[in-house]
């Protein structure tokens, strides 16, 4: 089981708070010993190693599961519980508020920062180094490995040192645990970030099924390949040993007229793979200020990187457009954004789907990085009849003069347009006090859809 399971499992609260209580009690013993030894106070033990971490072998809590999955040793668990302390028992760290009377301020070696609203002590890397290493320079240097890209903390997106200021020491960064991990170990469930400026993406869901998606056999075969990667990608990369030659992740382009099923397909792929699909809100993503678009993108990619999500960029040409000759600072800025996107998409270990109505507007450099480029055409007459029939399945409020086959044959509408026509017809009938939708209701709705598309027949 990964540190962030796709399915929420919620054990009784006492079953996972017990492990945290034990871990905190052990941490307090270690902290008390470190303070006593560092300042030469009387102490019952010779080192913090005398305090053995709790045995979590038979514990079924989310915290214990995560510790076992990442195979954390004592010092890694100390750093992890230090990062968790402000969230689950902030008073544990109040001892770091003691003052150095010689210089009338806190001790430099304690590190720590204060928050805007939180009144407690917020640990930094310096705090972790003090607890784990004390004055041992070698142990302090060894601790750096816990924050490297190859460590399980980084690989699983559990905790990191964040917010380094230019010119200041690495250890001055804040020690921050991810919201997803915090949510898992405190509630046993899956954390889904809230939509907003800090996370401009919405989870994509649908009540429809594959039976509601009418596409050609060729298109469905392409889609099945994406589902196959979602299901077997890890096995292909690891068990089959192809990680040497294959880049992680899968990149797909959906292109074709609006209303042809691109968004629905992305939703259904997520359901088939058992993962969440997040639709990126480009209106909140793109900024006129230099560096802000990249920053917004980084926030989404960083959160998604360890979560097994599918990222869906709709109307992608707005963000992934062709690069131009850099004749101005704006051109250079736009080209820089495109280059950054290319790199993040190429390095993303999950599935990325770009959808566009205008493939010609996309930068050609993207196509070389895609495993699939799938065209969603306007459905033919036979497919349109299936869409009409399935959309109206179970609807008993149709007049006898409604001829689905004739409408499908006569009007080249997409699936999205057909759904709009059905919505219009139902509203029209009820506005006129009727309980059944008739042929003229649908015909009026069809004319509206054709006018929207610039057609007259």
Determine the pLDDT at residue 9. 45
175: left (phi over 0), alpha (psi -120 to 50) or beta: beta
Determine the pLDDT at residue 150. 87
**What domains, with CATH codes, occur in the chain?**
13-187 (no CATH), 201-375 (3.40.50.300), 381-452 (1.10.8.60)
Determine the pLDDT at residue 373. 92
Determine the pLDDT at residue 155. 84
Query: 82 CB contacts (<8 Å, ≥6 apart)?
Result: 27, 93, 123, 127, 128, 131, 175
Mean pLDDT within 140-160: 91
Mean pLDDT within 220-249: 91
* In the predicted structure, residue 377 carries a pLDDT above the cut 60: yes
Determine the pLDDT at residue 11. 46
Q: pLDDT: is 391 or 369 the higher one? A: 391
Using pLDDT thresholds of 50, 70 and 90, give the confidence band for residue 227: very high
Determine the pLDDT at residue 455. 75
pLDDT digits (tens, 9 = 90+) for 306-315: 788 999 988 8
Q: pLDDT: is 198 or 348 the higher one? A: 348
* In the predicted structure, residue 298 carries a pLDDT above the cut 50: yes
The rounded distance, in Å, linking the Cα atoms of 275 and 11 is: 21
Mean pLDDT within 362-377: 83
Determine the pLDDT at residue 345. 84
> If we measure between CA atoms, which residue out of 59, 56, 62 comes closest to residue 8?
62
* In the predicted structure, residue 138 carries a pLDDT above the cut 60: yes
Q: Which residues of 321-340 are buried (b: 16+ CB within 10 A; e: fewer)?
A: bebeeeeeeeeebbbbbbeb
Determine the pLDDT at residue 7. 44
- What rounded mean pLDDT belongs to the chain? 87
Determine the pLDDT at residue 51. 96
The rounded distance, in Å, linking the Cα atoms of 223 and 353 is: 11
Quick one: CA dihedral 329, 331, 334, 335, positive or negative? negative
SS3 content of the chain, % helix, strand, coil (to 5): 50, 10, 40
pLDDT digits (tens, 9 = 90+) for 36-64: 999 999 999 999 999 999 999 988 889 99
Determine the pLDDT at residue 95. 94
pLDDT digits (tens, 9 = 90+) for 418-436: 999 999 999 999 999 999 9
Mean pLDDT within 79-94: 96
Contact, 193 vs 255, CB < 8 A? Answer: no
Provide the greatest CA pair distance for the chain: 95
Using pLDDT thresholds of 50, 70 and 90, give the confidence band for residue 10: very low
pLDDT digits (tens, 9 = 90+) for 263-291: 999 999 999 999 999 998 776 766 666 66
Which range (142-151, 266-275, 277-286, 330-339) has the least confidence?
330-339
Determine the pLDDT at residue 453. 80
Helix (H, G, I), strand (E, B) or coil at 439: helix
Q: pLDDT: is 94 or 244 the higher one? A: 94
């Amino acid at each position: 089981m990964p540190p962030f399971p796709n399915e929420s499992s919620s054990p009784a609260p006492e079953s996972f708070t017990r492990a945290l209580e034990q871990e905190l009690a052990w941490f307090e013993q270690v902290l008390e010993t470190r303070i006593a030894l560092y300042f030469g106070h009387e102490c019952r033990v010779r080192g913090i190693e005398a305090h053995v971490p709790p045995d979590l072998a038979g514990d079924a809590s989310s915290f214990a599961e995560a510790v076992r999955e990442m195979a954390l040793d004592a010092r890694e668990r100390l750093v992890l519980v230090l990062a968790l302390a402000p969230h689950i028992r902030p008073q544990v760290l109040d001892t770091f508020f003691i003052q150095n009377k010689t210089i009338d301020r806190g001790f430099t070696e304690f590190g720590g920062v204060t928050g805007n609203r939180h009144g407690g002590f917020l640990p930094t890397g310096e705090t972790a180094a003090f607890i784990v290493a004390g004055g041992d320079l070698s142990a302090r240097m060894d601790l750096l490995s816990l924050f490297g890209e190859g460590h399980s903390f980084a690989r699983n997106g559990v905790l990191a040192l964040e917010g380094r200021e230019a010119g200041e020491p690495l250890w001055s960064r804040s020690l921050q645990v991810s919201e997803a991990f915090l949510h898992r170990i405190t509630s046993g469930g899956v954390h889904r970030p809230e939509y907003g400026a800090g996370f401009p993406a919405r989870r994509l869901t649908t009540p429809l099924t594959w039976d509601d998606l009418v596409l050609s056999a060729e298109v469905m075969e392409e889609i099945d390949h994406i589902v196959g990667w979602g299901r077997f990608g890890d096995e292909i990369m690891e068990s089959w040993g192809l990680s040497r030659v294959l880049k992680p992740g899968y990149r797909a382009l959906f292109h074709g007229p609006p209303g042809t099923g691109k968004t629905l397909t992305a939703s259904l792929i997520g359901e088939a793979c058992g993962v969440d699909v997040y639709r990126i809100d480009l209106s909140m993503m793109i900024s006129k200020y230099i560096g802000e678009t990249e920053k917004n993108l980084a926030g989404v990619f960083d959160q998604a990187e360890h979560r097994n999500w599918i990222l869906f960029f709709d109307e992608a040409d707005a963000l992934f457009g062709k690069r131009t000759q850099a004749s101005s600072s704006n051109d250079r800025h736009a080209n820089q954004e495109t280059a950054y996107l290319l790199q993040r998409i190429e390095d993303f270990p999950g599935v990325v789907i770009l959808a566009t109505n205008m493939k010609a507007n996309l930068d050609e450099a993207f196509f070389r990085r895609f495993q699939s480029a799938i065209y969603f055409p306007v459905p033919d007459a036979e497919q349109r009849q299936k869409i009409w029939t399935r959309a109206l399945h179970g609807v008993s409020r149709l007049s006898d003069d409604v001829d689905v086959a004739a409408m499908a044959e006569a009007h080249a509408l997409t699936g999205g347009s057909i759904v709009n026509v059905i919505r219009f017809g139902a509203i029209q009938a009820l506005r006129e006090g009727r309980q059944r939708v008739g042929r003229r209701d649908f015909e009026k709705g069809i004319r509206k859809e054709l006018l929207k598309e610039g057609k007259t027949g």
